[in-house]
Amino acid sequence: MSKISRDDVANLARLARIEMTPAELDHLSSELSVILDAVARVQEVAGKDVPPTSHPLPITNVFRADENRPSLTPEQALSGAPAQEEQRFKVPQILGEE
């Protein structure tokens, strides 16, 4: 059984800059120990003849190659825009910045 101490959790919280109460530290140390035990059980299932993989099936790139194709002109793309400025869509200011 994996055991994460309260001090380990406190150190992790400090590194993550998370303030925790003593009760939270106690609770999380037991919770994290349960999680580590579950991970250890999963690791036991994979035998030495099973190579570590990120996916059960081979992955191939399904993206097409980049190629130039005819597209809309700026005027065509902006033809339905309610407002435009310098060949760009103009939208209302939302952040209060200029």
Q: What ranges do the domains of the chain cover?
A: 6-45
The percent helix, strand, coil of the chain (3-state, each to 5) is 40, 5, 55
Place of tokens 């980049």: 66
What the block records as the tokens of 76 is 């065509």
Give, in words, the CATH class of 6-45.
Answer: mainly alpha
Average pLDDT over residues 1-27: 91
**Residue 98 predicted with pLDDT over 80:** no
pLDDT, tens digit, for every residue of 45-96? 767 777 777 887 888 888 888 899 999 999 999 999 999 999 999 998 888 7
Does the predicted model carry a pTM greater than 0.75? no
